[in-house]
Structure 1
Amino acid sequence: MTETPIDLDKHRGMAAQKATDIRRVIADVEANAKLLRDKQGVVEIEILSAPATSWSEAVAKARYVLNLYAAGLAPTDTHHRDLVAAVLADLTRLSVEDS
């Protein structure tokens, strides 16, 4: 038995290699999506666990919720996307003015 692994992909056709690459990418994306969902759950539990103690914390929470809402909007829902963008711009402007 040899110590070096054998690259089996070299012995397969291009179509099979591409199919394997696609499966690997999909598996990576799914693993990353699960990790992101887990992190999102932690953030949301933290947001719910205690009230904001400052305006900057309240703004950070509002930004998070608005971005979450905007992510669920249909791409064609430009009216609500514009509303979210306007509110986020207001939050940014007012945060800078308070600094």
Structure 2
Amino acid sequence: MTDKPIELDRHRGMQAQKATDLRRLLAEVEANEEALRVRQEELEAQLIAAPSVDWDEAAEKVRYVLRLYAATLTTEDTRGRALVAAVLADMERLTAKPSATSP
């Protein structure tokens, strides 16, 4: 008997190795999706919990909601996508801090 572990993947056929790799990857993706869903719920709970204290916080909420909305748009909905992009650009412009060199 040996204390050295045996790597079983080397003793499997190529198709079995690919199937095993696919199952492992799928399990990892599912775990990551669940963790992301939990973090998203936590973020949304914080966004809902209290009103914004300034325009910057309100703009962050708007950006978040618009990105959620944009994710539901079809690729054919170019007008909707253009509208979202325009509003996000407006939010960036309106919330940008003035540079130290501007009068």
Query: TM-score, structure 2 length as denominator?
Result: 0.89
Normalized per residue, the structure richer in helix is: 1
Letter in 1 for 2:60: A
Give me the CA root mean square deviation. Answer: 1.5
Q: Distance in 1 between matches of 2:36 and 2:16?
A: 30
The corresponding residue for 2:80 is 80
Q: Which runs of 5+ in 2 are unaligned?
A: none
The aligned counterpart of 1:14 is 14
Separation in 1 of the partners of 2:30 and 2:13? 26
Q: Which residue of 2 aligns with 1:65?
A: 65
Matched, 1:53 2:53: yes
Larger CA Rg, structure 1 vs 2: 2
TM-score by length of 1: 0.92
- Out of 71-80 and 59-68, give the one that drifted further: 71-80
**Count, aligned residues:** 99
What residue ranges of structure 1 are gaps of 5+ in the alignment? none
Identify which range, 73-82 or 54-63, moves more after superposition.
73-82
Q: CA deviation at 1:6?
A: 1.3
In structure 1, the residue matched to 2:2 is 2
Q: Quick one: distance in 1 between partners of 2:47 and 2:98?
A: 22
